Amino acid sequence: MNIMKDKVALVTGAASGLGFATARAFAQAGASVVLADWKEQYVNAAAQLLKAEGFEILAIKCDVSDEKEVEQMVEKTVAEKLFSSLFISRRSTHMN
């Protein structure tokens, strides 16, 4: 299925759970997918799983509660020539 061909999905909270499932669904639909999460190790691992399935994936560490990090996330997406034609925000809260 390629209904999302030539589209980009940016999914926050994408390292696990619903965010990861959403990212995988967009990839399966043909989109290039940017995975963003505040847990760098986990978002990188999630990206490797999807890349191993043959999908075009970019992993970015981003805490969506930090405006500067969100700006950097978008800048990196554009720098990688993944122009955002679709933006999905799944804001998660975290507690230490």
Task: Tell me which residue has tokens 């975290």.
Answer: 94
Query: Residue 79 falls within a domain, yes or no?
Result: yes
Query: Residue 95 falls within a domain, yes or no?
Result: no
Within a 10 A sphere around the Cβ of 42, how many other Cβ atoms? 17
Query: Residue 12 falls within a domain, yes or no?
Result: yes
Predicted TM-score (pTM) of this structure: 0.82
Give 9-58 pLDDT, tens digit per residue: 899 999 999 999 999 999 999 999 999 999 999 999 999 999 999 999 99
5 vs 11, higher pLDDT? 11
Q: How many domains does the chain have?
A: 1
Dist CA 35 CA 44 (whole Å): 9
Could you tell me the CATH number of the domain that includes residue 47? Answer: 3.40.50.720
Query: Residue 51 falls within a domain, yes or no?
Result: yes
Query: Residue 94 falls within a domain, yes or no?
Result: no
**Residue numbers of the domain that contains 75:** 8-88
Query: Residue 96 falls within a domain, yes or no?
Result: no
